[in-house]
């Protein structure tokens, strides 16, 4: 297998909902989940709070650990995740 084919196999596209706005984020499955938080916030213009003030949830509402690798959650392309501010943060 060629190196770029391996890279493509490690990439998935996730839909991240930030304050009701969907954005698609390309992710490397070997990277920690927090890498998509930063990208989703940037793409949706939500730069008022740093990434560590946000929590990431799956569709059933389970909070995911942003320090775990994406592949550990067995996410597939098209999976929808939700970002929301942690309680007590915001204005």
Q: Which CATH number does the domain housing residue 10 bear?
A: 3.10.20.90
Side-chain half-sphere exposure of 65, counting CA atoms within 13 A: 6
pTM, two decimals, is 0.85
What whole-number distance in Å separates Cα of residue 35 and Cα of residue 40?
9
Are 27 and 66 spatial neighbours (Cβ–Cβ below 8 Å)? no
Q: What average pLDDT does range 75-90 have in this prediction?
A: 90
Domain that holds residue 45: 3-77
Q: How far apart are CA 87 and CA 10, in angstroms?
A: 33
Residue 17 lies in a domain: yes
Count of domains forming the chain: 1
4 pLDDT more than 60: no
| pLDDT band at residue 1 using 50, 70 and 90 as cut-offs | very low
Q: 12 in a domain, yes or no?
A: yes
Distance CA 6, CA 56 (A): 27
Q: Is residue 43 part of a domain?
A: yes
- Residue with the bigger pLDDT between 23 and 1: it is 23
- As a whole number, the mean pLDDT across the chain is 90
pLDDT mean over 13-20: 95
The answer to whether residue 82 is domain-embedded is: no
**Residue 84, in any domain of the structure:** no
Cα(85)–Cα(91) distance, integer angstroms: 10
């Amino acid at each position: 297998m060629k190196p770029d084919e391996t890279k493509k196999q490690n990439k998935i596209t996730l839909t991240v909902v930030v304050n009701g706005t969907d954005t698609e984020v390309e992710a490397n499955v070997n990277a920690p989940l927090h890498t998509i938080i930063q990208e989703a916030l940037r793409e949706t213009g939500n730069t008022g709070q740093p990434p560590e003030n946000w929590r990431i949830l799956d569709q059933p509402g389970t909070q995911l650990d942003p320090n775990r690798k994406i592949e550990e959650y067995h996410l597939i392309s098209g999976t929808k995740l939700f970002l929301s501010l942690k309680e007590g943060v915001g204005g």
